Each structure stands twice: as structure tokens, then as C-alpha cells.
């Protein structure tokens, strides 16, 4: 089996490659070839016995995408996107990368299908940013998409295209709407959502973290490990169960900031919690106040997608996967 990932150099892309190599198979079929595409060269995963090719280029470009479709991967993971803040700041770039890129990919697949019946499984990472306020307290699977950002709009359009190309039989697509990834590894960043990860990651490393919002703020989280699990599950899913609705809101852990802090206390003790410094920031409070708090991911659960068991489990996964199982503050 030949698997290609577009966006392979990103955090989730790298973890996906590692998991595929570790598993050695996908949906019961041995993985013989990996093609890792991104705008910067991805690292070739260690310990893979098959053929691994690293491709770098602008895969929102129709000619680059064509090359990828020419080698006929059985499964394509399409993870590439510019993030919300950048898509909002650069309108043209957002539509070019996040929307036209997907359309070029689907068109190349459609033409290949018409020529030789090619029909790959295409797993697309959408986002819960397809939803926009006003929200009900708990968002059902049948809630309409009224994105509040260009990024969310582009993801929603990709979902519609994916569904229509799948309905017509050109591709076998699944879109998964990821929760906010937590604990995101690496350095603190300036994203408005950064503190959800920061107040866990920094204290676990013995470093102070700033908390700009109230303890009562509720949000929807999934660990990087779960996110990779969603992708793998989507790649093996029986898509005949999806009907015309090819994109699915992923399950997550609903937790308040206070819940996060209590879980940190349980896992890493009082000293870690003491490293969280409350510094209210009205701008961030306003942004986060417009986000959804919780979903009812009934459909995903029925389809076998599984979230982390608790926020404590999210922290323990981070310690295992990123810190070699050891916490610095202990």
C-alpha cells in the first residue's frame, strides 16, 4: 500500500508518519511506500523498511498536485493549510492555499478517475472553525456551518467539494473536524488559543505560563495522539455509512480552564500549578468568548472515533510522547 501525506512536515504530519511506520500497516494492508509532501522537506521517518520519498514544493499548485496524483497513492492524507490567523490577514493566500489547493487535488483525482478508474481514499483535515456563533450550548452534528473566519469558510467549502466529488464516485473522501490540539508540543506561540496548551506544557517543564482568561472558560480538546488516531481511523472507515455528509465533527474532551488546572495538579502537583500566572487579557478573552464550548459528537462515536478519556489522559499522553515519561517539576 502506498500512502501520501500533503502537509507531512507539520506537527500532526510528522506524528502520523511515525505512527504509520510503527504500525507497518493501514486498515490491514502492509505499507510499502510513503510519499511525504510539504512546502518544506519533511523528515523521513526512522525505521521504515519500505520506500519513503520526501517531496517539497507548493502543493496548492495544480502542477505539483498533478505529480502527486500521477503516482497514484492508495491513500492521501491532505493536512496542508495556512492557519486561521494568516488566512484572515492574507485573504488571497488563504483562498489559494486552503481552497484552490483542495480543488486542484480533487480535479486531478477526478481526471485520473475518468482515465483509469483511480479512486483513492482521501482523508482531509477540516476544522471545527467551520462552525460560527451564535452557538447552542452543545453543538449537534446537524448544526449549520456559518464560519466566522475566512479559514473556517475555506474549510467548509473544501468539505462541500469533498462530499460532491465523493458522491459522484471520483474519490472516496472523509473530512474530519479536529478539536483544538492540546497539549501542543514545542515553543509557546502567539495564537489566541495558545494558552490552553501553554498552561500545561510550560509548568511541566518548570517554566512559568500566562493564563489570560477566566478559569470558567470551557473548550473542546484532543491530544496530538488522538488526532493521529482519528486520521488512521478515517483512512480505514467504511464510507458507505456516511451518505452525502462526508465530514465529521471529532470527539474531544470538554474541559474548563479550571478542569485543566485540576488535572495538572493531579498529574504534576502543586508546584506545577503554582507556575500558572493569571494575567487577564481582554483581547484574548473576547476572541475566545466567540468560540464554541462543546459538541455532541454522536456520529463520530457511532463511526468508532475515540477521544482521549479525560483531560488528565491528555496530559499523561503529552508526558509520554514528548517528555520521555518524565516531568521536570517533580
The C-alpha cell 474541559 sits at: 255
Residue nearer to its own copies on the CB measure, 91 or 208: 91
How far is residue 141's CA from residue 62's CA, in Å, rounded to a whole number? 33
Interior/surface letters 140-151, b for 16+ CB within 10 angstroms, e for the rest: eeebebebbbbb
- Contact between 150 and its own copies (CB under 8 A)? yes
CA distances from residue 53 to 26, 116, 165, 304 in whole angstroms, order as listed:
18, 24, 28, 31
Residue 289 Cβ vs its own copies, minimum distance, rounded to whole Å: 15
How far is residue 217's CA from residue 38's CA, in Å, rounded to a whole number? 35
Residue nearer to its own copies on the CB measure, 146 or 310: 146
Q: Which of 134, 240, 270, 283 binds its own copies (CB under 8 A)?
A: 134
What is the total count of residues that contact its own copies (CB under 8 A)? 26
Angle, alpha carbons 111-130-68 (nearest 5°):
25
- Contact between 119 and its own copies (CB under 8 A)? no
Residue nearer to its own copies on the CB measure, 255 or 292: 292
Task: Report which of 240, 228, 194, 236 is spatially closest to residue 213, judged by C-alpha positions.
Answer: 194
Rg (CA), the chain: 20
The C-alpha cell 492521501 sits at: 76
- Contact between 91 and its own copies (CB under 8 A)? yes
- Contact between 29 and its own copies (CB under 8 A)? no
Q: Which of 132, 175, 179, 229 binds its own copies (CB under 8 A)?
A: 132
Residue 245 Cβ vs its own copies, minimum distance, rounded to whole Å: 4
Window 239 to 268, contacts with its own copies (CB under 8 A): 243-245
Please pick, among 95, 118, 151, 295, the residue that the annotation labels catalytic.
151
Residue 165 annotated in active site:
no
Range in contact with its own copies (rule: CB under 8 A) among 23-31, 36-44, 145-153, 310-318: 145-153
Range in contact with its own copies (rule: CB under 8 A) among 50-58, 63-71, 146-154, 292-300: 146-154
- First and final C-alpha spacing in the chain: 44
Name the residues annotated as catalytic.
151
Amino acid at each position: 500500500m502506498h500512502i501520501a501525506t500533503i502537509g507531512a512536515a507539520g506537527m500532526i504530519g510528522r506524528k502520523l508518519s511515525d505512527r504509520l511506520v510503527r504500525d507497518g500497516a493501514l486498515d490491514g494492508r502492509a505499507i510499502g511506500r510513503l510519499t511525504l509532501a510539504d512546502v518544506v522537506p519533511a523528515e523521513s521517518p526512522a525505521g521504515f523498511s519500505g520506500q519513503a520519498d520526501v517531496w517539497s514544493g507548493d502543493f496548492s499548485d495544480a502542477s505539483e498536485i498533478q505529480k502527486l496524483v500521477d503516482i497514484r497513492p492508495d491513500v492521501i492524507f491532505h493536512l496542508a493549510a495556512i492557519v486561521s490567523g494568516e488566512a484572515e490577514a492574507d485573504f488571497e493566500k488563504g483562498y489559494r492555499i486552503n481552497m484552490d489547493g483542495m480543488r486542484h487535488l480533487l480535479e486531478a483525482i477526478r481526471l485520473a478517475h475518468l482515465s483509469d478508474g483511480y479512486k483513492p481514499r482521501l482523508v482531509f483535515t477540516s476544522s471545527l472553525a467551520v462552525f460560527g456563533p451564535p452557538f447552542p450550548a452543545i453543538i449537534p452534528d446537524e448544526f449549520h456551518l456559518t464560519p466566522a473566519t475566512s479559514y473556517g469558510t475555506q474549510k467548509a467549502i473544501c468539505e462541500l467539494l469533498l462530499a460532491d466529488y465523493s458522491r459522484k464516485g471520483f474519490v472516496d473522501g472523509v473530512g474530519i473536524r479536529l478539536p483544538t490540539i492540546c497539549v501542543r508540543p514545542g515553543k509557546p506561540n502567539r495564537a489566541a488559543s495558545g494558552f490552553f496548551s501553554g498552561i500545561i506544557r510550560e509548568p511541566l517543564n518548570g517554566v512559568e505560563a500566562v493564563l489570560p482568561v477566566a478559569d470558567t472558560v470551557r473548550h473542546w480538546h484532543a491530544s496530538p495522539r488522538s488526532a493521529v488516531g482519528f486520521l488512521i481511523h478515517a483512512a480505514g472507515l467504511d464510507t458507505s455509512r456516511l451518505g452525502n455528509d462526508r465530514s465529521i465533527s471529532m470527539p474531544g474532551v470538554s474541559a474548563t480552564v479550571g478542569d485543566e488546572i485540576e488535572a495538572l495538579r493531579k498529574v504534576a502537583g502543586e508546584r506545577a500549578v503554582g507556575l500558572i500566572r493569571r494575567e487577564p487579557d481582554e483581547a484574548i478573552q473576547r476572541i475566545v468568548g466567540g468560540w464554541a464550548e462543546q459538541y455532541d459528537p454522536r456520529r463520530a462515536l457511532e463511526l468508532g472515533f475515540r477521544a482521549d478519556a479525560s483531560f488528565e489522559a491528555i496530559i499523561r499522553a503529552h508526558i509520554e510522547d514528548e517528555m520521555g515519561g518524565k516531568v521536570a517539576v517533580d
